[in-house]
Chains A and B, each alone.
Chain A
Amino acid sequence: MKILVLIESINNKIHPVSIEALVAAQNIASENSVEIYPLCLNKNLIDDLSKFKCTKVLNVESLDLKNYEPMTYLDAAEKVFKAMDADLIMLGHTYETRDWAPRLSARLDIPFLSDCININLSDSKLIINRPIYQAKLIQKIALSDKGLVSFQAGSFSSENLIHENSPSESLSIELNSYDSIKQGERFQESAGGVDLTASDFIVSIGRGLGKEENIPLAQNLADKINAQIGASRPVVDAGWLDHSRQIGSSGQVVSPKLYFSLGISGAIQHLVGMKGSKQIIAINKDPNAPIFEIADYAVIGDVLEILPKLTENL
């Protein structure tokens, strides 16, 4: 079996989630006759990649892209996949992957299992675990033939990466040129608002708080225990709170002494922003809410009933 691992470049370095995808590939290769080919379209990354155990690091001779160009990426990945007669494409489930991997799947006419959390090879069958219903359930999927698989950040640990010098090769492949998608500059919105990373205590509001008018219930608790208010994305999307209070993959990443989560389900994009917290207390009425998987203290109940009493009791 031949695995192509698509390596993403971020700030001219290897994206950490691409390393995790390489670890996933190395895991499968350990006991089987599996060949691993990391493909990177930014030539600056080749030296670093060649320090990791794989069959051969690939790049495309005529191509040296520091930044993402969807149509060129597609063209290159398609042609390399076919030239190598590869079976599997593995990648990190990043924003970039979301933008182009579905299109690659359509172009190659092979299925794309996105946002997966594990992969195993047994009896030459690939078995993949994939969360569904906002991570409340996991599917165990057997891939019949060729496919693309992307992995959620944190599914494999870069500590398990096997270091060993590997060869590299430049493939001479003809690419087309495209102008239907012109990428502009990357930018950040003007900063400002609160910096939650410095707070020891955070009371964080999810959609389970019900409505904007209930925010004072959380604010009162926060005032009582000297905490800052944080929030999940839907609360910010709905305009209840400023974007600077959003915690998660598209907000701030915090690791306070206490993260007190109120009516937050615990989607992965939220968890990546707060799972490093020292102590996590979660109130949620759904016993299967994924937030409970990482909570130290779990209260299965109605946050609107508990909050006022707790604030008063403190």
Chain B
Amino acid sequence: MKICVLMKQVASEDSPLKINSNGSGIDETNLNLITNEPDTYALEEALLIKEKTSGEVTICTLGPDSSQQVIKDGLAKGADKAIHITIENLKNVSPLSMGKVIYNKIKDENFDLVLSGLQSNDYGHAQLGIIISEYLNYSHASLVIGTEVNEENSLKIKRELENGWFQSAELTLPACLSIQSGINQPRYATLKGIMSVKNKPVDKCEAKELGISEDSGYKVEEVFLPKKAKETQILDGSTDEIVNQLTDILKNKIKVG
């Protein structure tokens, strides 16, 4: 199987998020950049499928130069090669534009599977992999929580539904799958894997040359902090003072135990 995994670099959960001076977005100077966690499940699933069926795993990332770290980490875990579509900044690029650029790059690769994480932890559109299925004319499934490759040209999957329900489905290959977290336990890179990175090919190209469009059909006018829904009492003071307040609330207000 030839498998492509779409991976993205995002700000980590504990990055300081500050609104920029003109209020149109976030201040990106001090972000701690990491691989989007949901994508690590997609990569792991690709590696597991490759181990079962043989084949090749290609990472594809669209993002600034810093995203090469995503590629290095993925190659160290066992991917065979990578495509890096460079762009200065992704923040004004819509999912449709990203989809078109990636499609233009991978359309002749004849991948059997294109895997992506369910959503990115920054803008959370949760669309890219499915958009690409339309451009490639592949079958698709989202919220995939299990895969079983049995025949040459079909694939069984398990999809997560609401409230603890699941559904199985059979997809004709080639297919695009958007992978839900928890499907597997992503591996760590081994020392050997890390050493192998420098010998693995990375195909670098520019989004500009692939016809990236900044016309998204919408405009972000402002970014703001959410409003509180509830009166919240903030407990402050030293740790001991906080502990005393909590104890009082638990024992006397909520009456636990």
Cβ proximity bits A278-314 to B, threshold 8 Å, 1 near / 0 not = 0101000010101011111111110001100110011
Are A281 and B166 also in contact (CB < 8 A) when A225-B256, A226-B256 are? Answer: no
* Least CB separation from B137: chain A residue: A180
Are A185 and B239 also in contact (CB < 8 A) when A105-B131, A132-B124, A226-B257 are? Answer: no
Contact of B142 among A98, A258, A296 (CB under 8 A): A98
Cβ proximity bits B102-120 to A, threshold 8 Å, 1 near / 0 not = 0000000000000000100
Once bound together, how far apart are the Cα atoms of A249 and B181, in whole Å?
14
Given A138-B226, A300-B236, 16 new contacts (CB under 8 A): A95-B143, A98-B142, A99-B130, A101-B127, A102-B125, A106-B134, A106-B135, A107-B134, A110-B217, A127-B221, A131-B124, A141-B220, A184-B170, A257-B254, A281-B246, A293-B226
Once bound together, how far apart are the Cα atoms of A95 and B220, in whole Å?
26
Cβ proximity bits B146-171 to A, threshold 8 Å, 1 near / 0 not = 00000000000001111111111111
Contact in complex: B247, A314 (CB < 8 Å): yes
* Least CB separation from A191: chain B residue: B164
Contact in complex: B94, A184 (CB < 8 Å): no
Contact in complex: B124, A103 (CB < 8 Å): no
Once bound together, how far apart are the Cα atoms of A131 and B95, in whole Å?
16
Contact in complex: B166, A188 (CB < 8 Å): yes
Residues of A within 8 A of B170 (CB): 181-182, 184
Are A233 and B182 also in contact (CB < 8 A) when A133-B17, A299-B235 are? Answer: yes
Contact in complex: B160, A137 (CB < 8 Å): no
Contact in complex: B220, A145 (CB < 8 Å): no
Once bound together, how far apart are the Cα atoms of A112 and B227, in whole Å?
25
- Among A56-64, A165-173, A234-242, the stretch that binds chain B is A234-242
Contact in complex: A143, B226 (CB < 8 Å): no
Contact in complex: B218, A186 (CB < 8 Å): no
Tell me the smallest distance from the CB of A82 to a CB of chain B, in Å: 16
* Least CB separation from B254: chain A residue: A258
Contact in complex: A112, B95 (CB < 8 Å): yes
A111, CB-defined interface residue at 8 Å = yes
Contact in complex: A115, B126 (CB < 8 Å): yes
Are A94 and B162 also in contact (CB < 8 A) when A293-B229, A293-B230 are? Answer: yes
Contact of B242 among A10, A106, A107, A299 (CB under 8 A): A299
Using a CB-CB cutoff of 8 Å, which residues 84-122 of chain A contact chain B? 94-95, 98-103, 105-107, 109-115
Contact in complex: A111, B218 (CB < 8 Å): yes
Contact of A102 among B13, B126, B164 (CB under 8 A): B126
Using a CB-CB cutoff of 8 Å, which residues 66-125 of chain B contact chain A? 94-96, 99, 118, 121-125
A13, CB-defined interface residue at 8 Å = no
Tell me the smallest distance from the CB of B34 to a CB of chain A, in Å: 14
Contact in complex: B167, A310 (CB < 8 Å): no
Contact in complex: A103, B17 (CB < 8 Å): no
Are A111 and B94 also in contact (CB < 8 A) when A132-B123, A138-B225, A181-B141 are? Answer: yes
B223, CB-defined interface residue at 8 Å = yes
Contact of B122 among A103, A132, A298 (CB under 8 A): A132
Are A258 and B256 also in contact (CB < 8 A) when A133-B26, A310-B243, A314-B247 are? Answer: yes
Contact in complex: B250, A314 (CB < 8 Å): yes
Tell me the smallest distance from the CB of A312 to a CB of chain B, in Å: 8
Residues of B within 8 A of A201 (CB): 254, 256-257
Cβ proximity bits A165-204 to B, threshold 8 Å, 1 near / 0 not = 0000000000000011111111111000000000001000
Are A103 and B247 also in contact (CB < 8 A) when A94-B162, A142-B218 are? Answer: no
B1, CB-defined interface residue at 8 Å = no
Residues of B within 8 A of A250 (CB): 160, 162-164
Contact in complex: B218, A113 (CB < 8 Å): yes
Contact of B224 among A137, A226, A310 (CB under 8 A): A137
Residues of A within 8 A of B141 (CB): 99, 181
Once bound together, how far apart are the Cα atoms of A299 and B171, in whole Å?
48
Contact of B161 among A95, A134, A233 (CB under 8 A): A95
Are A140 and B95 also in contact (CB < 8 A) when A181-B139, A313-B243, A313-B244 are? Answer: no
Cβ proximity bits B16-49 to A, threshold 8 Å, 1 near / 0 not = 0101000000100000000000000000000000
Tell me the smallest distance from the CB of A221 to a CB of chain B, in Å: 9
Contact in complex: A138, B230 (CB < 8 Å): no
B251, CB-defined interface residue at 8 Å = yes
B190, CB-defined interface residue at 8 Å = no
Once bound together, how far apart are the Cα atoms of A86 and B50, in whole Å?
44
Contact of B223 among A94, A139, A181, A294 (CB under 8 A): A139
* Least CB separation from B25: chain A residue: A139
Are A186 and B165 also in contact (CB < 8 A) when A181-B139, A225-B257, A309-B243 are? Answer: yes
A-B contact pairs, 16 of them (CB 8 A): A99-B142, A101-B127, A111-B95, A111-B216, A114-B124, A115-B124, A133-B26, A137-B224, A146-B217, A181-B139, A201-B254, A234-B181, A281-B250, A292-B228, A298-B233, A299-B242
